[in-house]
Amino acid sequence: MDFWRTLVGKLWLTISGLVACVLLTLGLFLLPYIDTNFTNSDAIKRLFTYVSIIGFALTTFFALFLLTKITQPMQQLIQATDGIRKGKYNTRLALRTGDEIGQLASAFNHMAEELEKNIQNLQLEKEQMASVLRSMGDGVITFDKQGNMILHNPLGEMIMDSWHKAGWEGQQDGSGAAASKVPEPLYPMFERVIRERQDQSSNIHVKQQVWAVNMTPLYSGEDVRGTVSVLRDVTEEVKAEKMRRDFVANVSHEIRTPLQMIQGYSEALLDGMASSPEESNELVQVIYDESLRMSRLVQDLLDLSRMEAGHTDMNFGQMNLNELMDRVYRKFSVRAKERELDLKFIRTEAPLMLEADTDRLEQVFTNLLDNAFRHTQAGGTITVTALLEEDQIKVSFQDTGAGIPMEDLPFIFERFYKADKARVRGESGGTGLGLAIVRNIIEAHQGTIAADSQVGKGTVFTLKLPVHREVRD
């Protein structure tokens, strides 16, 4: 540091200037008097010169003393303060004096120690908060009052990126430039929170997903400086709730019809409306058939519930698929003749062996064939084909029935879904649970099932079941 710019340098210059002014003033007034009144004027002038030199020397010594006691400690204090400013919070002063400079150094060290503790605590809280945000299963996004994202956790960032990539950009101003980074689905809620200063909660639909959003105002004193949004993906919950409502509605609908028929025909019997034993038998037969229909519905519901809960009892063992197909063919051959349908089973001569539950696979074959019979008119053809393809067995069920519209194909394996508007029923309808049960059984065998259909030309259901090498050998 330049000495002349320091406090001591300025003080030394000031004192030296004052001494010089005093000496010059005395010289101007005293020198003429000395020359006229003293015989040894030269000696007095030399004495005056020595006194001046000694005065300037004392002034310089005083300046050096102040430099050591004030300027150097102040420079250390300035350097330590600059270190604190740069983030070196462990900076301390080593000054040990009893004067004001020492007290200032002690106060500085105490301040730096407290500041270091506070910074460490803030850093710890920040790391804890960051860990909490990273570990949260919900997305957290903070926006300022202008709608710019200022804080987020990884899930929140991923949500924002996915929304922007899907085309949900921020609100646009009149010039077309982005006026806000708040995605369009969140913007109405963001405006309400800023305007009303109250928490807002809502479910937002973005493409095929549903998000539960809770947005609260972020305060700075009395002013709202932004919002904090918590987003949770509730797509599966909404789907589950819809499935539950649909399930209850469908079960109620399926049960109501047979119950009404049982009740109506029972009242007819009690009122004596049957005029002959034959009519009585017909009424009783209807009641019996409807009770069987309800029993099948309840049994299918129980089976499907156990399967979807993962409590399916599967008895896996070595099975010859050709023998199973022979047994199923014998079961449906008489029914095919009665319905005037051409039933064909095509399979290889070599035994098709796989690890499976025989009873469950027979249930699959029965459900698929029953479905084909109910939707194929007389004169049609139903073909079952089984082939070995690498490490899996492919079984297809093809009929020449009414077919299924393309828009219905993705949903035919759901519970109670019936594509009735394009299919012709030849006999009483099923429970709407057969294909859902078939899918669960096939998936329990680690296989797959798919459907392909054309309206008016028929439908093909294709099963693929894995064959374990040890079983094949």
214-273 tens-digit pLDDT: 999 888 777 888 888 888 888 888 887 877 777 677 677 667 777 877 888 788 888 777
Q: Is the dihedral of CA 215, 221, 224, 226 positive or negative?
A: negative
The encoded tokens of residue 176 equal 């077309």
What's the rounded Cα separation, in Å, for the pair 143 and 152? 9
d(CA 449, CA 387): 15
Query: Considering Cα of 39, then 41, then 44, then 50, what sign does the dihedral take?
Result: negative
| pLDDT of 433 above 60 | yes
Q: Quick one: average pLDDT of 102-126? A: 85
- Residues of 395-406 as b/e, b for ≥16 C-beta within 10 angstroms? bbbbbbbbbbee
* Segment 381-426, tens digit of pLDDT: 999 998 888 778 889 999 988 888 888 788 787 766 665 543 444 3
pTM higher than 0.95, yes or no?
no
Tell me the CATH architecture of domain 244-308: Orthogonal Bundle (1.10)
- The CA distance from 298 to 292, in Å, is 10
- Residue 355 scores a pLDDT above 70: yes
- State yes or no: pLDDT of 380 exceeds 60: yes
Which residues, in sequence order, are bridge partners of residue 202? 213
Report whether 445 contacts 465 (CB < 8 A): yes
One of 3.30.565.10, 3.90.550.10, 1.10.260.40, 3.40.50.2300 is the CATH number of 317-472, namely 3.30.565.10
| Residue 61 pLDDT exceeds 80 | no
d(CA 232, CA 203): 9
Across residues 56-80, what is the average pLDDT? 70
Amino acid sitting at position 87: G
pLDDT bucket at 31, cuts 50 / 70 / 90: low
Q: CA-to-CA distance for 439 and 461, rounded, in angstroms?
A: 11
How many angstroms separate the CA atoms of 347 and 342, rounded?
16
Fold category of 136-171+179-233 in CATH:
Beta-Lactamase (3.30.450)
Element (H, E) at 227: strand 223-233
Compute the half-sphere exposure of residue 283: CA atoms within 13 Å on the CB side of its CA.
19
CA distance 453 to 463: 15
Q: Which residues, in sequence order, are CB contacts of 57 under 8 Å at separation 6+?
A: none
Q: What is the Cβ-side half-sphere exposure of residue 228, based on CA atoms within 13 angstroms?
A: 9
Residue located via tokens 């000054």: 95
* C-alpha to C-alpha distances, 152 to 163, 213, 233, nearest whole angstrom: 15, 14, 16
465 φ, ψ to 5°? -115, 135
CA distance 465 to 407: 27
Confidence of residue 434 (pLDDT cuts 50, 70, 90): confident
Torsion sign (Cα): 431, 433, 434, 437: negative
Alpha-carbon distance of 338 to 305, in angstroms, equals 35
